Structure 1
């Protein structure tokens, strides 16, 4: 296990994965390969880790809030989990799910067969982040009857080679949830512990966290709905601003590593970056379209792949299709 100082140093020196490991034509892929991390965000990550508080990232959609979690997890060689919040989400969805419907169905079709509640417990992403061994065993202790089948790590393809004692959890777009959801997460996120009443299990870290926790929770909000003040007080809060034109160009260069570009293509990328910045509203309403980094990268990839086939009129249409977007208002 890394010494605490080494973990903090890694957070201060985050690096991209080799170019061959990242498919450049998939800008939304959360594989943690590429990210341009501002110095202030690196500091916020360190503060969140040493305090044991969740890092709440605010900002417009497309400002890079969601992508940083997988990037940090890859750099630290920690396991990665995510939960994308919807309007119907409940706090318990992050903890676990008890499949009562399946249990009742099994009781009907398998009369006389002894059923065990532990087999109907499905660990949620917070459980996996807190204690992967406990999640795999669905909460069974050393002296308990184990489950008929271990639970499957939902991100096993990413986590297969990563250390068991460190994890990054992304809770994406928490502002979409009912206000009861953040309130229901206060204790589990603060203590990294919670009970499973259906089986009597107690979920807790595998080892004492010591002075530096080996779990980092990153929460994002587009600020469509205000989060409860009690919840915000228990977070490290950082606002991510949309990158300027130079920042957009750097992002494109990082995503296009290893690809040779002609001078005219570099010029086009620079022009597209300025077009994105110019298209941003000065004071956007919550539901107003603000061109994002992903849309900029869509335009860049389309330009590189279709460049010789596009007329001047096509170029204007490309910018409209990917960046400015047609108005959603009916004529």
Structure 2
């Protein structure tokens, strides 16, 4: 199995090397990078490229590690026992399988995505160390060992919101997705908009990278936001002259809501436009 990117995903040479190393080593692939740089989509594309089922575990701030293994619903069993339900005699009826259980017992080698691991409590990664290392865990309620016949391909994403423990990092193959340069961004746009006017893309990218370079910007627009913006420009049939207008007194780009995602950044651009008008 060899990952070379896909028709819908432009992968750098370094990223291809990282994915193929993980496929061989079967170490978890830890992917970091700015939000919107394609970390989550990567797992979907690896799944397609390798013809492997995708199992997604989306992490929240309240997620606990044991939920990835299994959960035992003691309350439901107590309720059923009070109601005289026959299900109560088989404890397996009250075991809810987690995503790791699904991955370990999948009949076909899967891709397991643990998405945004840094959203959970700081102890979350440590609590999964043994299970990810040994690819097995014990179910005490049923006294059975759940063990992977073949180590799944594990992709773990992080937005760098929290530092991850060293012991966890040691067990992963790490790759940081750099923000695409202009040439790579052009390739990504060509994949999504094969028939788009080159001059429109050129000017839109000028504006996009200028916005990203503005000092003091709280949230820089991402690749996915550029694609959304281009889609809107096409949908609204935005005249090219609007994008080519370099009037500094109109610093906010058209349809800026696709690029600027908080009021502080919009106010920053409004101040820049105000200062340009005052100095003109």
TM-score by length of 1: 0.71
Higher gyration radius (CA): 2
Q: Which residue is 1:197 aligned to? A: 140
Contact 2:260 2:266 in 1 (8 A): no
- SS for the counterpart of 1:307 is coil
Query: 1:130, 1:192 within 8 Å by CA — same for their partners in 2?
Result: yes
Q: Which residue of 1 aligns with 2:271?
A: none
What does 1:1-331 correspond to in 2, within 5 Å?
A: 7=1, 10-11=2-3, 13-16=4-7, 34-110=8-84, 114-132=88-106, 164-206=107-149, 209=150, 213=151, 215-257=152-194, 260-261=195-196, 265-281=197-213, 288-307=218-237, 312=242, 318-328=254-264
Task: Find the residue that maps to 1:318 and give its secondary structure.
Answer: coil
CA contact (8 A) 1:62 1:293 kept: yes
Is the Cα–Cα contact under 8 Å of residues 77 and 88 in structure 2 kept in the other structure?
no
The 8 Å contact of residues 284 and 290 in structure 1, kept in 2 or not, is answered as no
CA RMSD across the alignment: 2.6
CA distance in 1 between counterparts of 2:214 and 2:131 reads 39
5+ long unaligned stretches in structure 1: 1-6, 17-33, 133-163
Q: 5+ unaligned residues in a row in structure 2: which ranges?
A: 246-251, 268-280
* Change beyond 3 A, Cα 1:282–1:50: farther
Specify which structure has the higher proportion of helix: 2
Cα gap change, 1:324 to 1:268, in 2 (>3 Å): farther
Number of residue pairs aligned between Structure 1 and Structure 2:
260
Q: Distance in 1 between matches of 2:46 and 2:62?
A: 29
Flag as ranges the 4+ runs of structure 1 deviating above 3 A: 111-114, 281-285, 308-313, 315-319, 328-331
